[in-house]
Amino acid sequence: MKKILLPLFASLLVYSSHGQQATPSPSNPAASDPHEADNTKNNSSEQNRSTETAEKQSNSKDDLALTQKIRQAVIKDGSLSMNGKNVKIIAQDGKVSLKGPVDSQQEKDTIAAKAGEIAGKDKVDNQLEVKAAKE
């Protein structure tokens, strides 16, 4: 009986701790700054209703396929940072908008070039922003 209950109890403890946030540790400076991941100010520009946002992504088959092809090309590129791989790719009527922070001008250019190869250079609106280097 103990052999059955002990693993069951241990799994319940692990399961109940999943959804809780880790406590920031002083040895990890990024974890100690709760505002580090807060991009509210960046998103405030998207409150303008005419701005393309991910929720305005077209649901047409062609636009969805276009977005998917660009996303796959970006993800496959091992030279891109996590920020670069997570940019917003929004396709509407065959036109693509790229938004979000990237780590360097080279990443910005690389992602825009990939989108241009797939959608056409004249159909890409590159709004990617190079993050300021931390001092």
Q: Is 125 domain-assigned?
A: yes
Residue 125's domain spans which residues?
Answer: 54-129
Mean pLDDT of the chain: 76
Does residue 99 fall inside a structural domain?
yes
> Quick one: 82 exposed, middle or buried, by C-beta within 10 A (0-12, 13-18, 19+)?
exposed
Q: What is the pLDDT of residue 59?
A: 86
Q: Is residue 92 part of a domain?
A: yes
The CATH number of residue 77's host domain is: 3.30.1340
Over pLDDT 90: what percentage of the chain?
52
Whole-number Cα distances in Å, 93 to 58, 60, 62, 71, 123: 7, 8, 8, 17, 10
Report the domain count for the chain.
1
Residues of the chain with pLDDT under 50: 16-17, 23-25, 28-35, 46, 48-49
Is 117 inside a domain boundary? yes
pLDDT at 32: 47
15 found inside a domain: no
Is 116 among the domain residues?
yes
